[in-house]
Structure 1
Amino acid sequence: MAKVVVVTDSTADIPAELVEELNITVIPLNVIFAEDEVYQDGVTLTSKEFYEKITKEDRIPSTSQPTPYQFEELYREILTEEDTTIISIHLSSKMSGTYQAAMIAKQSFDQAEQLHVIDSKRASYAIGIIVVEIAKMAQEGKSTAECLARLESLLNDTTVYFLVDTLEFLQKNGRIGKASAMLGSLLKIKPILSLTKEGEVYPFEKVRGQKKALSRIIETLKDQYGQYLVHIGVSHAVNEDLAKEILTRMSEEFNVASEVITDIGAVIGAHVGPGTVALSVTKAE
C-alpha cells in the first residue's frame, strides 16, 4: 500500500506542533513589503512579527504564491521515496494562484496517479482543519482511496465565518469601497464574512457590535451542525481573548470531537487585518 504524504501551504494556519506531529509538509507563500523586502510566510516572518510590523510601519504588504518550480522541486523530492502518494491541499483558487502553480508543477510528472492537487476553496484554518484530518488518516496508514473519499466529504462539510475587527484592510485590498468602510466604522458594524462553495469571499451579514455578530454566527452554525459531532478551529489575528471566548461558547453548545486555537498568518492577515477571528467547523466521522 502506498504511503500518503500530505502537503499544504502556509495559509492553512496550522499550529507548528500539529505540523510536526502529523508530518505535514507546508510550502510558504510570500509577503512583500518592498521589492527588496520579501518574507516567507511562517518561515522568515512569524505572525507575531508581521502584526508588530504593520502596526509600527502602517503599511499593508502584497502577497504572492510559490512558483510552479518550487512545487515541482518539492513534489519530486517526496516522490523519490518508493510507493508514495501526495495529496496536496491548497488555498482557494479564487483568492490566489497557489493551486494553479501546483497544477502546473503536476504536469511535469508522469505518475499522475501518485499526485493529487486539491483546491480547498477555503482559507486559513478552514483549510487546516481539513488537512489535519487527512494527515491523521495518513499517519494511521489509511489508503489513498480512503483519504480521498474522506477529503471529499470534508470539502462538502466544512464551514468558516470570519469576524473582522476593522474594515480598513478590506477597503485597502479592494473588497469594499472607502465610503462603505468609513460608514461601517462610524456605525460600529462588524461584517461577518464567509466563503461561497466556489471559494470566494462574500459578506454573510453585517451586524452592529461584536457580541451580536458572534451570537449570529453560533446560531447559524447550530442550524447546520447542532446534531453532529464536530471538529472546531478558531484562528485569530492577535485576538486570542476573543478566540478563547468563541471556543468556550462552542464547547458549551456543540458536541465537540476536537478543538484548536491558532494564529492567522501574515498572508491571510494582510487581507483581513489585526483583530480578525475565524471560526471553522467540520463534521467528525
Structure 2
Amino acid sequence: MKSIRIVTDSTADIPLSVRQELNIEMVPLKIHFGSDDYLDAVTLQSEQFYDKLKTSSHFPKTSQPSPAEFLDVYQKLLEEPDTEVISIHLSAALSGTYQSALLASTMLEESVGSVHVVDSRSASYGIGALVVAAAKAAKAGQSAEQILQLIQTMRANFYIYFLVDTLEFLHKGGRIGKASALFGSLLNIKPILSLDNAGEVTAIEKVRGHKKAIARILELLGVEVAGRSIQTLHIAHANNLEGAEQLREVIMQNFTVEHVDYITLGPVIGAHAGPGTIAAFVSTV
C-alpha cells in the first residue's frame, strides 16, 4: 500500500500545531510591504501582520510560490518509498498558486503521475478543512483515489459566508470578482460574500447593518443545511475575535454543531479580505 502525503499552501490557514500533528507540508506564499518581503505564516505571522497593517504606509501585496518551490517539496516527499502526493491549493480563480503546483507536478520526469494537484476552488479554511480531512484519511491508510473522492464529496457539502468591513482590500488586491458591482456602496451596507463553484468571490446580497447581515447568514445557512447537523464549523476572523464570537454564538444557538473551532485569517488572506472580516466555514459531512 502506498503512503499518501498531503501538501498545501499557506492560504489554507491551518495552525502549525495541526500541520505538525498530521504531517502536512506547507508551501508559503509571499507578502510584500513596500521593499520588505515576508513568507506567509513563516516569517510573518497573523498577529504581526495585522499590527504592521496599522503602521505601514504601504498597502500589502502578495505573490504566489514558484513552480521550483513546489518541485523541491514534491521531490523531497517522493524520495520516500512507495509515496504519492495530494497537493491541495488556493482557488485558481484567485491566484496562480494552483498553476505553479500543477506545472511543478509535470516536471518530475520519472515520477509524473505521483502527484495529484487539486484546485480547492476555495480559500482559507475552505482549503484547510479539505486538507485536514485528507491528511486524516491518509493517516488512516486510505488510498489516493479514496482521498480524492472524499475531497469532491466535501466540496459539494461545504458552505462559506463572510462579511468584510470594507471592499477596499478585495478591490485593491484585484480579487473582488463578481462582487465588484458593490464597490463604493452606501455607508453601513454589509455585503454577504461567498465563493462560487468556480472559486471566485461573489456577492450573495447586501444588507444594511452588521446584525441584519448575521441574521441573513443564518437564514441562508438554514436553506443550505436543511435540517442536517453541521459536522464542522470553523469561524475565521481577521483581527476581529469579538465579531467571530458573535457569529459562532448565533450559529450554535440555531443549529446542531458537532465540532466548532476558531481560525485566524493569515497574512495573505487577510491582505485581500481586510481587517475586521469574519467568516463561517460550514461542512455537513
What's the TM-score once normalised by structure 1's chain length? 0.93
Q: CA deviation at 1:254?
A: 2.1
Please give the alpha-carbon distance, in whole angstroms, between the structure 2 residues aligned to 1:83 and 1:253: 47
Counterpart of 2:51 in structure 1 is: 52
Q: Which blocks of at least 5 consecutive residues in structure 2 are unaligned?
A: none
Answering whether residue 270 of structure 2 is matched by residue 238 of structure 1, we say no
Shift of 1:233: 1.0
**Match for residue 135 of structure 1?**
135
The percent of aligned pairs where both chains have the same amino acid is 43
- Does residue 99 (structure 1) correspond to residue 103 (structure 2)? The answer is no
Map of 1:255 onto structure 2: 256
Amino acid at match of 1:97: G
Amino acid paired to 1:189 = I
Q: 2:81 and 2:275 mapped to 1: Cα distance? A: 44
The C-alpha deviation readout for 1:85-114, integer Å capped at 9, x for no partner, is 111000000110000000110011233332
Q: CA deviation at 1:166?
A: 2.0
TM-score (norm 2): 0.93
Question: Within the alignment, does 1:40 sit opposite 2:39 as a pair?
Answer: yes
CA distance 1:136–1:220, change in 2 (3 Å): same
Structure 1 residues not aligned, in runs of 5+: none
* Residue pair 1:91, 1:121 contacting (<8 A) in 2 also: yes
- RMSD value, Cα: 1.9
In the comparison of the two structures, how many residue pairs are matched?
Answer: 281
Offset of residue 58 of structure 1: 4.2
- The CA deviation at 1:170 is 3.0
Q: Which residue of 2 aligns with 1:168?
A: 168
CA distance 1:212–1:58, shift in 2 (3 Å): farther
1:126–1:233 Cα contact (<8 Å) kept? no
Q: Report how far residue 238 of structure 1 moved.
A: 0.4
User: 1:12 and 2:12 equivalent?
Assistant: yes
Determine if contact 1:32/1:62 at 8 Å carries over to the other structure: yes
Cα offset, 1:120, TM superposition: 0.4
Letter paired with 1:247: R
Amino acid at match of 1:73: D
Partner Cα distance (2:202, 2:57) in 1: 26
Given that residues 239 and 275 in structure 2 are in contact (C-alpha distance below 8 angstroms), is that contact kept between their aligned partners in structure 1?
Answer: yes
**Deviations for 1:174-202, whole angstroms, at most 9, x for unmatched residues?**
53999965543x2x011111111011111
Q: Return the alpha-carbon distance in structure 1 between the equivalents of residues 61 and 271 of structure 2.
A: 7
Runs of at least 4 residues off by over 6 Å: 176-179
